[in-house]
Chains A and B, each alone.
Chain A
Amino acid sequence: MYAFAYHRPATARQAAGLLAKKEDAKLLAGGHTLLPTMKQRLASPAHLVDLGACADLRGIERKGRNLVIGAMSTHAEVAASSIVQEAIPGLAWLASHIGDPHVRHRGTIGGSVANNDPAADYPAACLALGATIVTNRRKIEADAFFTGLYETALEEGEIVTKIAFPVASKAAYAKFRNPASRYALVGVFVAKRGSDVRVAVTGAGEGGVFRWPEGEAALKVRFAPKSLDGVKASAKGVNADMHADAEYRAHLIGVMAKEAVARAVGK
């Protein structure tokens, strides 16, 4: 790890001030991506702004039709939250299957969303549930937030403060995980709200998380696992690596989507 100066602001506002003032500053949330990256010397920020003491970035609440989760909420907090379990049980399940128990005690939803790893779990939930990413400056719809591999609509100095998930009538996640990294080889989040059905896929796309229109169309007719029979995901634009080729991943999209729908309808 290269040397850096460390800052520990007490509020998101102070953190934003530091980001604006310090040259080459990076935010540290749970640190479970950034610190390993810095150890490998693939990142070497001059300043680290640790959000760990920002109490205003924590907290989980139900606000009308929305479930609002503070950016510094850990995966373990989201998984164990009775508010999340009641509002969107599929989201609690997703959080309980990220990494391992120790990772879940440190990793945060804000960090995951801001990093937009192409195999991370939360981006699929945000996209499928039609979440709104709230920052210290504005609100960004999930559809416009995830813009590419590790890329988001966030601008310099912008901080994710919370994520608002509209409560779906049915929602669930299924993932085929890489047994070593625990990241999704392919993960699919399905959500139904009124007549709207959204299906988001992580782990498979060359450009990161994406929606699967064919799957959505089939499930709009009837929200049941059987509706996906014969609906094939294209292998075009799908990742291929040592773990799985594009055909295999494309096949997994259908399999995981079916499993997610089965979970969502309680079968």
Chain B
Amino acid sequence: MASVSLTVNGRAVAANVDPRTLLVQLLRENQRLTGTHVGCDTSQCGACVVHVDGKAVKSCTTLALSCEGAAVTTIEGLATDGALHPMQEAFREHHGLQCGYCTPGMIMAAVDIVNRRGFSLDEKTIREDLDGNICRCTGYHNIVKAIAAGAEAMGGRSMAGKEPPRQAAE
């Protein structure tokens, strides 16, 4: 066993784990944060995406011990005071999910795209940057729409008074 200290969603966490423990196992099994999913367990599908020090990573291919001192954010850490994060709200509004299994990873990836590329995202950029996330239900159409709207809403929140998110054009 080995010890690891990190913060998860702003909370200090210290755990004693088998060195084999993956970050996703630490989150799900040790911390009982089961919003982060394991889909493929081979770093293809992106269901396990969380942020480590502000960057999206696949937590099924990261050792928990490698996150010593890191700040980890999971899907549970996005909402504030019971209000959904703008990206979560956009996925709800635009019906960017069906079964929901890939959704936590999709939303964490989406927030990462906004962090890297800003609030105004075109469809091509979104689709290219969703390379590491697989959804087997939706055909991505509404996910892409949700991310564009969520990005805009995140911009609106940080620059109060900007235009509100677009309505879904069904």
Contacts and interface: CB of A to CB of B under 8 A. Distances in A.
Interface of A: 1-6, 8, 28, 31-32, 35-36, 39, 48, 50, 52-53, 76, 99-103, 105-106, 180, 182
8 contacts: A2-B20, A6-B65, A35-B22, A39-B42, A50-B65, A53-B68, A100-B132, A102-B132
Interface stretch (B29-37, B52-60, B139-147, B161-169): B52-60
A32 B19 contact: no
A35 B56 contact: no
Contacts of B133: 100
Given A3-B20, A48-B19, A101-B113, A106 B41 contact: no
Grouping DSSP codes into helix (H, G, I), strand (E, B) and loop, the B interface class, with mixed when no group exceeds half, is mixed
A-B pairs, 6 with minimum CB distance? A100-B132, A6-B19, A100-B131, A105-B55, A102-B132, A1-B20
A31 B63 contact: yes
B109 A101 contact: yes
Contacts of B63: 6, 28, 31, 35, 48, 50
Interface of B: 2, 18-20, 22, 41-44, 46, 49, 52, 55-58, 61-63, 65-66, 68, 109, 112-113, 116, 129, 131-133
Contacts of A99: 131-132
Contacts of B56: 101-102, 105
B158 to A, nearest CB: 21
Contact of A28 (B52, B66, B132): B66
Contact of B131 (A6, A39, A105, A182): A182
Given A1-B20, A99-B132, A103-B132, A8 B42 contact: no
Grouping DSSP codes into helix (H, G, I), strand (E, B) and loop, the A interface class, with mixed when no group exceeds half, is mixed
Contacts of A5: 19
A102 B131 CA distance: 9
A25 B43 CA distance: 24
Contact of A103 (B19, B52, B58): B58
Nearest to B61: A35
Nearest to A74: B55
B49 A102 contact: yes
A53 B65 CA distance: 11
B19 A102 contact: no
A3 B57 CA distance: 23
A106 B68 contact: no
Contacts of B61: 31-32, 35-36, 106
B42 to A, nearest CB: 6
B129 A101 contact: yes
A24 to B, nearest CB: 14
Contacts of B44: 180
A103 B68 contact: no
A123 to B, nearest CB: 20
B65 A102 contact: no
Contact of B66 (A2, A52, A103): A52
